[in-house]
Structure 1
């Protein structure tokens, strides 16, 4: 039955061992929804960059933000396997959420985000330049390069102490300041044609020396022998020649390679074919002369052209290997116009919440156990074979995910659920085929061999179409769609291998070892002869009604009621508490207000005993509320005020007494009588502990009228403690009319001075100390599934449908099977979409359409396609058998017979899958988590998919066949439409 079984067993053991080893060494990276991660909030001041000359004055802020979001998304997750969320926060904010809590990985990604990635290549200025560019252009009359005069002007500018100080902090910015000066103000003679650039300086070395050294003409190489890299050096570059930029490099041809001259890490690059010829022309024109490679405004190296170069080279210059790896990613994704500035960095908890994750884990375990028990009870010893293959399958899938360092998310789990279902289905197909062969009178050995052989074609066809779908989704889709595709393809490859290769190997061991002498299995249907297609007119009308209802329900429901935060966007704000609370406590407190019923609540910061003092809340806002937020925020900014949105007031009311203090509190007049002044006391609050003596010195300097500064202990009483978060102050102020007047004057003066005082202080880690605030952060956030992601996801699914039609056309030799399969898929998706949309809008279930739900729909497509292909494969087999042996059955009878033959497999597969998703739904119903909607959509999809594989796909094939017969010659039409009495068909 199997040749060289011991080698095959060794191979299987080796694969299983490798999977286990990968899991043991790397573990599994869980996504934001299952584990949480790091949250980075960046700001970009577009107006300030315009004023500084770093952006064109007419630059469109909206387009610039979209471009930056796209580039950053690609830098963070070029393969789409990390589940990183990148959204716009407010007008000029970028919110990035990275899965996992690995500080080193987060720092590496942070460096990649903050890398401008601007690569330029320019010839060094030479005094003998003819004024004629390589492309034939000439400099205007009277223009020429005079390096000595340019050097004199820069030297004079550097004599000023303020300019030397600029060099100490940032030579790149300092030289930009000089380049922007007009000739009349001491700037370059003509910055349009010649511009100074700073040589790259190693920040790890002494950066306090400011003696300039000039690098041009005599020393074009970067860092000639004896030059101190810590001293700023400047190179004058020829800006008249057409420059080469990062966009001119072939992104597919960037590789790490050692510099042949220095041995240090570098990047092997190739110019795009369209500009490779021009690059060669430049190398010939500047033979023996230097060509500077400028990265992020500083010259990394300036090698001489020793010979003509056909568009290839190496970028090096003090890089480490990790820096080269990051730079390759940056160059491949494009350069940013401006560098975003990090505003905050926070550790966040899982978006699903610990309770939902625990319920999901428990329900999947129960559902999986039920399937295993069912397989043993129904298929007896062969069920154990299936379980062994399935366990190895899971080990291989998770081992591969671990080895690739992919991030496992809810969409990824959807792909695994689909592949497990298809793995179970493959075993059921094999077992039912073996049963059929045994019923024909074959002995056990030949029956098993024939069962595997005949099931193989069906298994490969069913899995190949789904694998092709995954391949298209990976190559065309982006973000979580690619994560789903990866787990789907890995799972399919592993499932087919385990079902066919491993399953056959296990059967061989049982048969050769005489452990299996007879095959006992339960039987669902003996010899079904249902005329299922006789109901096709009724079912087709029913399907049309359901599809129409689904479309009507979907399009009549408001977008705000059907789409999740991934598609709508909304607002995000942080809550600071005075005492730690659990996520469940915070969530239930907020849900007392209807507007927070579906809010996403995650921890933001340290967690102790399951409790945290800071939380991140995200909620949906409709377009009108988002527009109002933007308008009111701008008005407040123009007045130098802070806008407090209405939902913040709602939270303040719900969590009264639980929130952290405002920066200033407990303001009241002291019991002191005076005509010209009053004594007022109050409390000042910071986010971290302060040294009371330092605070006292700063406050006394800011307000000479301060008479007392003391810390408050844990009980809220004044004390002589050395450090405190809350400070009690007493000061003399102008006379007041009443308590309201005291509070108004105190709040108008003290908070700003308090903030200015804290700005001068640093905590133990050197970070700025912030004011205490119950809401440290609040902003609008854009939708995650916008623009590129949404359009490419839709395109990927449409392309997948086309590939399905073409593949089935090749395998079945006719288009009608592919068309029928796609009709069934659209039928299933539309009905499921309509059902969940209407039930979600009615408040019966929580099933918003978000990225996790998209994964559920892709899973439904996979199941439906698998069911349909199994039936079609049996129809093809029966048609070929009749053509070979002769017969008088009509095509309708053959279709009906094929459906009956595969009915046991269809029902059993649907039951096993439904058990898992129904258990998941039962445990999560009413919890308001994404698992509830995911499981419910899968339940509907399994039911509708089973129905369509019988009463949608097959009637469409039959209709297309009859239509084809009507247009064929009379003799063929008679043959095709000939009807005979249906014969009983054996179940398989």
Structure 2
């Protein structure tokens, strides 16, 4: 077990070397990595928006709007087809997903059905499979009318088309901004995620994304009065549109579109030679130029309206035919406004107007502060852990520290190779990985100590210690990995980043603890030939403790039951401080341009906006203020309107550092997903432990873990800490940590059940608890050291997340001893029951006892 062939040694250190090479690009600037030879790794970790600043938006396309558009289109097609063939009709109308038309002459019904059948011709809905989709079903009714029904498959097909087109249009608009590596991707059947790193003007980004940008050229009706049309009903074939001026000017325009933006070939910005004002120049393609030339030739002397998203940008008079296929749009533009319009026209129009259901904006300065805080917290936490390990194990502690440093390097390399995004919760995942890596080494070293105290030689103690720790390390880390995988699958955004970091950290931890540490210990024994195990400078738990844990179970069990019931009662009776992730609303972090922020002034100014309950509180430095605005209850667009009011009220005196807006649609989904994530993690881990152990162990682990989750929720209720999306990540991590601790204890119980077949269960559990007590204490303390550093130095954004983690570590350690173990007595687990399934244990023990010294070369 301690012998490593030369090729294994080369493979181990080659892995470490490759990890170092892939981690190095994170230490030097991008300008250096871009100039490196192509053979060398140059990809660094991607920083999340919360670390580098930027805008995260989630957009939703309205299916009902799509249905209305399709209904209008089918109605127009029916009208056009019947008129072209001179088939008389009446009662043409649309409702729901059905267009109804009545044919006047009964003899024309069949002809009308054949004519309209072209609307029901199937289209290819999937180019890969060739699946055909029928968009319209035509059916006659008994009264002689025809029904044209929009099929659900057809609507789904159009929705997918609209999503794909919207993604491409938005990508074209964002690319025009010149931002670095934006992310635009579909999510689900009606959502689009847009992330623009480094964007310092979120309002401009939202305006570019949210504007439909449908450009049309329509004639102005000069024969009828616009005032009469406003006061009554516009004449047939006309509509009233308003200009973008303040106050807006009404125009009576013909609904017939001369040319649309689909015929534009290019658009740009120039300056009017007469007024020196910015204007938007445009050029049509061949088809558009012909249509525009023909329309202007036929309407010389008449005004025409340039309409953008149902608003009249300008209405110039046609003095002469415009045959060149180009022109300009003027309208008192600023340079930025003209440039934005040119971008919109070049990128094309959106098929549907999107709704912003979620917004998270982080200013660049706050992102830089978060990076600095995270780095400092990581350094402090890491140093505390390194010093503690050296004091506890001496030379072995130094070996563990070297393995821990390489573990972090490999973790960073893994994130870089995958192109993963590092977020603030991801930094928390790295700090947590430090604690878990230490746990694996502590398990190994404590096993070695036990074997040495049992009278084995140093080589035998080291060899058997690694062997017996392997099963425990694998079981403990697999349970955490299950939680991480479920968190990644069900989570979103920063929570996924945390899950990826945790999952990679588990893999690197198993490698460094069981392979790299074992190689370094073997090298030390082979070269130094020590006679005794190195001792540390401190011993937190004396050898051979005999604490009567099971005698205390009557008090601890009762206390835990009372605490769980109290937490459930408090949760049911006291409103939890839910963050906007779960109840919707807006959160705005601002920084005063003066030396001290005036919270009372902010509160007074915002209360006049009639936005409902508004909370204003200091946050971090005297300049920083956190503002929470309740959900507006008017749908997703209402949240955006409230945010715009707050921005306009405060932006003169305050810098907007962070914005989070969650509409009711997303908040409901997040609450459901969070609950499902916790339940799914518990269910998956229950199955794993059941397969690896016995049903008593599985139920005991789940009950103990549920105990920890319920008490953590009770802590949130009592303390009033905000419960948000990061809190779900904290609870799931507590699930993993608690199970990790419980599995370590259960693994020792299982081992002792096979060894001491006649010992009473309470005595056996006491023995197991005492044997694992040094490991439990050391692991909890090292993890707490890392978390405490993150709590005090990682920034206020993470404090509620880390506070839950600290509470969870303490409660998880308590429950693994005083809840999980006594449950085995309650479930009447029989000593020796496992031995009956494993008849070869005695033979293995005998073989182990007679192990001869291993040749270490």
- TM-score normalized with structure 2 length: 0.59
**Conserved in 2, the CA contact under 8 Å of 1:87 and 1:95?**
yes
The answer as to 2:462 corresponding to 1:448 is yes
Trace 1:86-485 onto structure 2 (pairs within 5 A). Answer: 98=195, 100-101=197-198, 165-166=259-260, 169=263, 208-210=285-287, 338=352, 340=354, 348-349=362-363, 355=369, 358-485=372-499
Cα deviation per residue 1:182-210 (whole Å; 9 max; x = unaligned)? xxxxxxxxxxxxxxxxxxxxxxx985212
Deviation digits for residues 284-308 of structure 1 (CA, Å, limit 9, x no counterpart): xxxxxxxxxxxxxxxxxxxxxxxxx
The answer to whether the 8 A contact 1:29-1:100 is kept is no
Q: Which residue of 2 aligns with 1:151?
A: none
Contact in 2 for aligned 1:410/1:852 (Cα 8 Å): no
Moved more, 546-555 or 903-912: 546-555
Residue 954 of structure 1, CA deviation: 0.5
Quote the offset at 1:482 in angstroms. 3.0
State the aligned residue count.
598
- Structure 1 pair 3/959, CA: closer, same or farther in 2 (3 Å)? same
Residue 739 of structure 1 corresponds to which residue in structure 2?
none
- Residue 580 of structure 2: aligned partner: 565
SS at match of 2:195: strand
Which of the residues 932, 946, 953 maps onto 2:820? 953
Aligned in 2, Cα 1:503/1:816: closer, same or farther, shift over 3 Å?
Answer: same
Is the partner of 1:597 in helix, strand or coil? strand
Do residues 864 (structure 1) and 744 (structure 2) align? no
Look up the match of 1:15: 18
Residue 539 of structure 1 corresponds to which residue in structure 2? 556
Q: Secondary structure at the match of 1:828?
A: helix
CA–CA distance in 1 between the matches of 2:360 and 2:388? 46
2:710 corresponding residue in structure 1:
830
8 Å Cα contact 2:615-2:629 kept in structure 1: no
Match for residue 768 of structure 2 among 885, 893, 898? 898
Quote the offset at 1:815 in angstroms. 0.8
**Secondary structure class of the residue paired with 1:921:** helix
For 1:27 and 1:581, locate their aligned partners in 2 and report how far apart those are by CA, in whole Å: 37
Work out the CA distance in 1 between the residues paired with 2:521 and 2:407: 17
* Superimposed CA distance per residue, residues 230-271 of structure 1 (whole angstroms, 9 cap, x where no aligned partner): xxxxxxxxxxxxxxxxxxxxxxxxxxxxxxxxxxxxxxxxxx
- The structure 2 residue matched to 1:554, chosen from 568, 571, 575, is 571
CA contact (8 A) 2:20 2:413 kept: no
Aligned-partner SS, 1:528: coil
Deviations 1:788-837 (A, max 9, x none): 4443332232122122122112211x111011111111111111111122
- What is the match of residue 818 of structure 1? 698
Structure 2 residue corresponding to 1:852, chosen from 726, 738, 741:
726
Q: Give the CA deviation at 1:862.
A: 1.4
Match of 1:932 in 2: 799
- Cα distance, 1:859–1:794 mapped onto 2, change above 3 Å: same
| SS of equivalent to 2:50 | coil
Asked if the contact 1:871–1:898 (Cα under 8 Å) also holds between the matched residues in 2, the reply is yes
Please report how far the alpha carbon of residue 861 of structure 1 lies from its aligned counterpart in structure 2 after TM superposition: 1.3
Structure 1 match to 2:616: 597
| Range 951-960 or range 517-526, more displaced | 517-526
Unaligned stretches of 5+ in structure 1? 117-159, 172-204, 214-335, 603-610, 635-641, 661-773, 841-846, 973-988
Cα offset, 1:338, TM superposition: 1.9
Any conservation in 2 of the 1:599–1:620 contact (CA below 8 Å)? no
Aligned to 2:300: none
CA distance in 2, matches of 1:597, 1:345: 20
Distance verdict in 2 for CA 1:564–1:513, change over 3 Å: same
Of 943-952 and 550-559, more deviation after overlay is shown by: 550-559
Post-superposition shift, 1:362? 2.6
* Cα 1:631–1:542 shift into 2, 3 Å: same
Q: Tell me the secondary structure at the aligned position of residue 51 of structure 2.
A: coil
Q: 1:853 to 1:629 in 2, by over 3 A?
A: closer
The alpha-carbon distance between structure 1 residues 581 and 36, as it changes in their structure 2 partners (threshold 3 A), is farther
What does 1:656-805 correspond to in 2, within 5 Å?
659=653, 781-782=662-663, 786-805=667-686
| Counterparts in 2 of 1:575 and 1:375: CA distance versus 1, 3 Å | closer
Q: How far apart in 2 are the matches of 1:478 and 1:644?
A: 26
Shift of 1:627: 5.4
CA contact (8 A) 1:367 1:917 kept: yes
1:35 equivalent to 2:52? Answer: yes
Structure-2 separation of matches of 1:917 and 1:574: 25
Q: Is the 8 A contact 2:490 2:677 kept in 1?
A: yes
- Provide closer, same or farther for how the CA distance between residues 46 and 361 of structure 1 changes in structure 2, counting only shifts above 3 A: same
Secondary structure of 1:33's match? helix
8 Å CA contact retained: 1:626, 1:780: no
What is the distance in 2 between the residues matched to 1:354 and 1:588? 28
Confirm or deny: 8 A CA contact 1:415 1:859 kept in the other structure: no
- In the TM superposition, residue 13 of structure 1 has moved relative to its aligned partner by 3.1
Structure-1 separation of matches of 2:492 and 2:636: 30
Contact 2:614–2:629 (CA<8 Å) still a contact in 1?
Answer: no
The corresponding residue for 2:756 is: 882
Residue aligned with 2:507, SS: helix
**Do the aligned partners of 1:572 and 1:779 also contact (CA within 8 Å) in 2?**
yes
| SS of 1:210 mapped into structure 2 | helix
Q: CA deviation at 1:349?
A: 1.3
- RMSD (Å), alpha carbons: 5.4
Tell whether 2:18 aligns with 1:4: no
SS in 1 for 2:55: strand
- The DSSP-based 3-state class of the residue aligned with 1:912 is helix
Which protein has the bigger helix share? Answer: 2
C-alpha offsets along residues 546-603 of structure 1, whole Å, 9 cap, x if unaligned? 11222222232324xx1112222214679899xx668x8588985899944358999x
Pairing 1:515-664 to 2, within 5 Å after superposition: 516=530, 518-522=532-536, 523=539, 524-559=541-576, 562-571=577-586, 590=602, 595-597=614-616, 619-622=627-630, 626=633, 659=653
| 1:620–1:878 Cα change, 3 Å | same
Give distance in 1, aligned partners of 2:358 and 2:798. Answer: 30
Counterpart CA distance in 2 for 1:858 and 1:344 is 23
In structure 1, distance between residues paired with 2:600 and 2:412: 35
Cα pair distance change 1:338/1:566, threshold 3 Å: same
Q: Residues of 1 paired with 2:682 and 2:18: CA distance?
A: 33
Superposed CA deviations along residues 683-733 of structure 1, whole A, max 9, x for unmatched, are xxxxxxxxxxxxxxxxxxxxxxxxxxxxxxxxxxxxxxxxxxxxxxxxxxx
Q: Structure 2: which 5+ runs fail to align? A: 28-41, 75-93, 98-154, 171-180, 214-253, 266-281, 291-349, 606-612, 837-857
Cα pair distance change 1:648/1:350, threshold 3 Å: closer
Contact 1:452/1:504 (<8 A) preserved: yes
TM normalised by structure 1 equals 0.52
Aligned counterparts of 1:632 and 1:11: Cα–Cα separation in 2: 53
Please say if residues 440 and 513 of structure 2, whose CA atoms lie closer than 8 Å, have aligned partners that are also in contact: yes
Task: State whether residues 480 and 851 of structure 1, in contact with CA within 8 Å, keep that contact through their aligned partners in structure 2.
Answer: no
Q: What's 1:506 paired with?
A: 520
- For 1:434 and 1:592, locate their aligned partners in 2 and report how far apart those are by CA, in whole Å: 66
- Post-superposition shift, 1:486? 1.7
Q: For residues 778 and 913 of structure 1, what CA distance do their matches in structure 2 show? A: 32
SS of the equivalent of 1:338 reads coil
